[in-house]
C-alpha cells in the first residue's frame, strides 16, 4: 500500500496496538488484585481448587495479544475505522460491566476457584450466574474484530467454549455446595438472562 492508504493503515494498526495494550494492562491489574484476594481467602481457610484447565485458561487469555497483531501482519488485514469504533465501544461497555461485576463480588472475586464466604445475589448476579464469563465471551469476539482478525476470533471463541465448559463445571461443583446457592442462583441462566 502507498500514500494515504498506507498512512490510514499504519494509524489504524497503531490504534489497534494501543487498544491491545490497554486491554492487556487491565488483565495484569486484575491478576495482581486476584493474588491479593487469594491471600485474604487463605486467611479465612479457603484455598484455590486444583484445576488443570486453569493453565489453558491463562494461555487463552494471552493469545489475543499475540495472534491478533500476527494475523494483521501475515494476512494483511485491512483496517476499518467503523469496525474499530464499534468494537472499541463494545469493549468499553464490557469493561464497565466487568467493573460492575468485580465490585459487586468485592473480596469474593478471584481468577481461581475459591469458595466464597457468602452467596452474592445483587448487581449483575440478580440476572445471571456468571456475568464475568459472559463479559469474557464477548471480549474475545470484539477484541479481534477491532482489526478484522477473523481467524483469531474463530479460534479464540472455539477454545474459550472448551475452557469454559470445564471451568464452569468445576466452579459450580464448589458453588452448589454452599448453603443457599442452589435456591438463589440455580434457577438463573449462566450467561443470558431468562425472559421468564
- Cell numbers for 40: 485474604
Task: Please report the pLDDT score of residue 49 as a whole number.
Answer: 85
Residues 6+ apart with CB under 8 A from 180: 119
pTM passes above 0.85: yes
What percentage of the chain reaches a pLDDT higher than 90?
72
Q: At what angle do helices 150-175 and 53-62 cross, to 10 degrees?
A: 150
Q: Is 147 helix (H, G, I), strand (E, B) or coil?
A: coil
Distance CA 54, CA 52 (A): 5
Q: Nine-digit cell at 190?
A: 449462566
Q: How confident is the model at residue 181 (pLDDT cuts 50, 70, 90)?
A: very high
Q: What is the pLDDT of residues 85-144, one digit of tens each?
A: 999 999 999 999 999 999 999 888 889 898 888 899 999 999 999 999 999 999 999 999
Domains assigned to the chain? 3-185 (1.20.120.1630)
pLDDT over 90 (residue 21): yes
Contact 159, 93 (CB under 8 A): no
Q: What's the CA gap between 131 and 58, in Å, rounded?
A: 19
Q: Measure the N-to-C terminal CA separation of the chain; round to a whole number of Å.
A: 53
Amino acid at each position: 500500500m502507498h500514500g494515504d492508504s498506507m498512512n490510514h493503515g499504519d494509524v489504524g494498526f497503531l490504534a489497534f496496538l494501543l487498544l491491545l495494550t490497554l486491554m492487556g494492562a487491565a488483565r495484569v491489574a486484575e491478576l495482581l488484585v486476584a493474588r491479593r484476594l487469594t491471600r485474604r481467602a487463605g486467611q479465612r481457610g479457603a484455598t484455590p481448587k486444583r484445576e488443570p484447565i486453569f493453565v489453558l485458561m491463562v494461555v487463552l487469555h494471552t493469545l489475543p495479544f499475540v495472534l491478533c497483531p500476527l494475523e494483521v501482519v501475515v494476512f494483511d488485514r485491512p483496517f476499518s475505522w467503523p469496525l474499530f469504533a464499534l468494537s472499541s465501544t463494545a469493549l468499553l461497555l464490557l469493561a464497565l460491566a466487568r467493573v460492575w461485576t468485580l465490585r459487586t463480588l468485592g473480596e469474593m472475586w478471584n481468577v481461581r476457584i475459591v469458595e466464597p464466604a457468602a452467596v452474592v445475589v445483587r448487581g449483575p448476579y440478580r440476572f445471571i450466574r456468571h456475568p464475568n464469563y459472559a463479559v469474557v465471551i464477548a471480549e474475545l469476539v470484539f477484541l479481534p474484530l477491532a482489526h478484522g482478525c477473523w481467524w483469531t476470533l474463530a479460534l479464540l471463541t472455539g477454545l474459550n467454549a472448551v475452557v469454559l465448559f470445564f471451568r464452569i463445571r468445576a466452579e459450580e461443583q464448589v458453588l452448589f455446595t454452599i448453603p443457599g446457592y442452589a435456591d438463589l442462583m440455580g434457577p438463573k441462566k449462566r450467561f443470558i438472562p431468562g425472559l421468564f
